[in-house]
Structure 1
Amino acid sequence: MHILDIIAKKRDGAELAAPEIEWLINAYTNEEIPDYQMAAWLMAVFFRGMTDQETAALTMAMAQSGDTVDLSQVPGIKVDKHSTGGVADTTTLILAPLVAAAGVPVAKMSGRGLGFTGGTIDKLEAIPGFRTTLSREEFIRNLKKYNIAITGQSNAIAPADGKLYALRDVTATVESIPLIASSIMSKKIASGADKIVLDVKVGKGAFMKNREDAVKLAKAMVRIGQLVDRDTVAVLTSMEEPLGMAIGNSLEIMEAIDLLSGRGEPSLKEVCLTLGSQMLMLGGKAETPTAGRTQLEALLDSGQALAKFKEFVAGQSGDITVIANPGQLLSACLVKEVTASAQGYVAAINASQVGYVAMRLGAGREYKGQNIDLAAGIVMHCRVGQRVGREQALANLYTNDESRLEQAAVLLQQAIRIEDKPVNKPPLLLGLVDKHGFQDRLE
């Protein structure tokens, strides 16, 4: 095979065979193909697209380009959950122990945050002593013992995806549905999951800005799952405003503990119950979403979900005393309250700008490898549709860098639009894609 033939074939709109895609990915991973030729192929894909079979072949080639995790020795159906990223998206911290408490093994390899989207690994590192790097043996041992294990993404997992993503980022080829879908699914498949639940975020604070594009992405990923024998379901959820009330690592741990204790923010809880019910169905523990939701609510009410979180934290060397006393978590030395400049109704909260403000306070990274302040972030005190009075608190900002506070306060106030007339709160759940296609209503 020759790279020029493969580039030309895709440039002309022809379908590549699976062996051609496998050869291409292996050759690029082994540095037998230069970046400029791979960039030409990516641009051809960007304009010409890929068939379902091509996308599945690309996914598997990337999944098999490095190490794969074999979880066959762990009893039960292993179900993974992946979010396409958002602001105040604390779902993994809640869902993983909640679903594990229901008897479904949850094995996750998670990443760090970049830009305004937070990373699960950063959040967990806000718990003193918590180990986010586990050996394969430790990972499987914890999964067997507790039904839950979360570790940092290994560079040896789907290395072709890492190389391709870096190249896409500098060649204006990121916004390609087949390339996005194969990137996400390759890592999930290499991580050993039997079945996958996807949370596809839609809105200003998400990568997919509108439902039409989000449905296309969801369908592509579900179809990949079908073709490679991994049952996959995608739930579309709104990211027009932050999902939870806390944005920032220690702050999100506190919010997760609050929700696992039977309290918590309703929107965050609703998304967790919706995704969790799908995970229980795929894991064979519930016949319907309603039955799954009933189980999960009972686990929250009884304290079993919180108890599983304690087991999980202890199993990875974390300090469990912070669960009963979240005030022991890292706290910022500077706090600033942002208030409403006028009375009225909260008409919109720009989630991406709120996430940017949290990043500027030190909670997120502007570039890979940047150190972050685990105590920094924002706690929101308002929701879209809520009536607020003049000088009423809209949010609290937390940081250890005084130079960041004033600008952050101005930017946050600009992210919240207040109008005179009442507004309707936008829907939180926007539909579901499974093997039967798109449904705009969830049970």
Structure 2
Amino acid sequence: MAIEPFDAVSVIATKRDGGELSDDQIAWMVDRHTHGGHVADEQMSALLMAIFLRGMTRREIGRWTTAMVDSGRRMDFSGLRRDGRRLATVDKHSTGGVGDKITLPLTPLIASFGVAVPQLSGRGLGHTGGTLDKLESIPGWRAEVDGAEMVAILERVGAVICAAGGDLAPADRKLYALRDVTGTVESIPLLASSIMSKKIAEGTGALVLDVKVGSGAFLASEAQSRELAETMVALGSDAGVRTSALLTDMSTPLGRASGNAVEVAESVEVLAGGGPADVVELTLALAREMLDAVGLTDADPAAHLANGRAMDTWRAMVAAQGGDPDAPLPTARHEDVVTATESGHVTAVDARSVGVAAWRLGAGRARPGESVQAEAGVLLHVRPGDRVVAGDPLATLLTRTPERFSGARDALARAFTVGAAPVDRPRLIIDRVTVDS
């Protein structure tokens, strides 16, 4: 039997005592935990807590990310062609929020410019929604696409939104399961490496990050969100992926719809040239960032929303994954309207409260693998800055199981703040982060 170069206890002790882990120690720990044999779950859990408490240097974060990428296969889209022309690739990742359906209109919008968008997405957990859950409300649409089919769709349509394969950064799946039950999810080094290991392994040439700030975000403070954005941008750039990030507000839900089918419907409105102003604004801001990343600096994404090209690509993308873009979306059998108890101006609509309400109505899940209701969700009727009169509708709750209304109403008890003085609507785009900023 070969003698191991390290032992887990000494590696844990190094980080526990505030030391730096060597490249070889990191690579060994991640490999031996992922593929079994020498690093037990409880030992990796101890190391994750030590990292949570002691932090990591940029070098350590970079090596940890690389080790996670190396734990599985790397995808390669460098051979994508259409009409003899190489297709540039660009992807987008959001750190998650409430009503965040931006991936749905954004992906076909970018593809309508002749760019390939291999969008590997996930499912929702807790108060944040999942892109795959939303799309699965379209009759026939499927999230599972193998590698050969993905390439074929990208070359024909230019856009795929699908689940990541189990062999893509498998270390992340094992580590996240431990972080979820050990209180170490919010560690910025572990968050950044988790997100970027999958994106680097995905093989895209450029990446734009949408890092949320506010009550509905994963990290509520702007300082923490900025640090996460800067760390991820650096990791992507170091790996040869052109990477930038936008810091965006998530104190208020995006758009008026939070749920699954209702967010698909709102996304189609945007693709048809309408939709809520904030959803359109963020879609266009991220689109410009993505098009600039692949050299299309003069492209006008607003034009492709207006002339129908983005909608045509959406329909082709949905159909390519088995969906029927003309089929009616599921609708809730039961509705309940929340009304204003006082008159005045809406000064805040708390994103997390709305997300929790949608989750309790059945739009989200408490544990991985649970089913969700396609039709459940919350439709907002007011935004910060709007004037209301007592009795006006604030939100409509949607579900197939009306016994859920009570819990959703409890979640919304403090979601809407009404004051005497009018307020400005919150600024959506807070800042842009690049390697030079």
Band the TM-score falls in, shorter-chain normalisation: over 0.9
| Residue in 2 that maps onto 1:282 | 293
Residue 273 of structure 2 is aligned to residue 262 of structure 1: yes
One-letter identity of the residue aligned with 2:358: A
Q: How far off its partner does 1:50 sit?
A: 1.3
Q: 2:198 aligns with which of 175, 183, 187?
A: 187
Q: How far apart, in 2, do the equivalents of 1:116 and 1:406 lie?
A: 17
One-letter amino acid of the structure 2 residue matched with residue 249 of structure 1: N
- CA–CA distance in 2 between the matches of 1:146 and 1:67? 25
Alignment-mate amino acid for residue 392 of structure 1: D
The residue number in structure 2 matching 1:238 is 249
Mapping 1:367-378, distance limit 5 Å: 367-378=367-378
- Choose the corresponding residue for 1:13, options 8, 18, 32: 18
Structure-2 separation of matches of 1:430 and 1:307: 32
SS at the partner of 1:397?
strand
Whole-Å separation in 2 of the counterparts to 1:409 and 1:40: 40
Contact 2:69/2:198 (<8 A) preserved: yes
> How far, CA to CA, are the matches of 1:340 and 1:410 in structure 2?
15
Alignment match, 1:141: 152
How far apart are residue 410 of structure 1 and its match? 4.5
Does 1:48 pair with 2:57?
A: no
The secondary structure found in structure 2 opposite 1:396 is: strand
Report if aligned partners of 1:108, 1:191 keep a CA contact under 8 Å in 2: no
1:71 aligns with 2:77: yes
Counterpart in the other structure of 1:163: 174
Q: Could you report, residue by residue, the CA deviation over 1:131-181 in whole angstroms, capped at 9, with x for unpaired residues? A: 211111101100111111121122221111111111112222222111110
> Which segment drifts farther, 400-409 or 246-255?
400-409
Aligned to 1:355: 355
**In 2, Cα distance between the equivalents of 1:365 and 1:47?**
29
Match of 1:36 among 37, 42, 45: 42
Please tell me whether the aligned partners of residues 186 and 219 of structure 2 are also in contact (alpha carbons under 8 angstroms): no
Counterpart of 1:364 in structure 2 is: 364
SS where residue 348 of structure 1 aligns? strand
CA distance in 2, matches of 1:88, 1:35: 35
Of 166-175 and 76-85, deviating more is 166-175
1:387 is matched with 387
- The letter of the residue matching 1:162 is R
What residue is the counterpart of 2:105 in the other structure?
Answer: 94
Matches within 5 A, 1:278-357: 278-286=289-297, 291-292=298-299, 295-322=300-327, 328-357=328-357
CA distance in 2, matches of 1:16, 1:45: 10
Residues 208-244 of structure 1: per-residue CA shift (max 9 Å, x gap): 1111111111111011112111111010000001011
Are the counterparts in 2 of residues 104 and 285 from structure 1 also a CA contact under 8 Å? no
- Look up the match of 2:83: none
Pair 1:410–1:47, CA change in 2 (3 A): closer
| Mapped partners of 2:181, 2:143: distance in 1 | 30
SS at match of 1:222: helix
Q: Deviations over 1:301-328 (max 9, x none)?
A: 1011111101111111111213xxxxx2
Q: Distance in 2 between matches of 1:404 and 1:101?
A: 41
Which blocks of at least 5 consecutive residues in structure 1 are unaligned?
323-327, 438-443
Q: 2:220 aligns with which of 204, 209, 226?
A: 209
Identity of aligned residues (%): 44
Secondary structure of the 2:414 match is helix
Q: Counterpart of 1:11 in structure 2: which amino acid?
A: R
Distance 1:128 1:179 in 2: 36
- Offset at residue 48 of structure 1 (A): 2.1
Where does structure 2 lack aligned partners over 5 or more consecutive residues? 81-85
Q: What secondary structure is seen at the aligned counterpart in 1 of 2:348?
A: strand
CA distance in 1, matches of 2:186, 2:78: 35
CA RMSD of aligned residues (A): 1.3
Give the number of aligned pairs: 426
Between 1:217-226 and 1:43-52, the stretch displaced more is 43-52
Matched, 1:424 2:424: yes
Residue 204 of structure 1, CA deviation: 0.3
Deviations 1:366-385 (A, max 9, x none): 11111111011111111011
Q: How big is each residue's C-alpha offset from its partner over 1:91-135, in whole Å with a ceiling of 9 and x where there is no partner?
A: 000100001112221001111111111111111111111121111
TM-score by length of 1: 0.94
Of 399-408 and 105-114, the range deviating more from structure 2? 399-408
- For 1:325, the equivalent position in structure 2 comes to none
SS of residue matched to 1:173: coil
- 1:327-355: CA deviation from partner (whole Å, max 9, x where unpaired): x2110111122211111111111111111
Q: 8 Å contact 1:94–1:256 — kept in the other structure?
A: yes
Letter of the aligned partner of 1:15 in structure 2? E
Q: Does structure 2 retain, via aligned residues, the 8 Å contact 1:347–1:419?
A: yes
Contact kept, 8 Å, 1:77 with 1:284, in 2: the verdict is no
Distance 2:183 2:411 in 1: 28
Quick check: 2:360–2:407 contact (8 Å CA) kept in 1? no
Cα deviation, residue 413, structure 1: 4.4
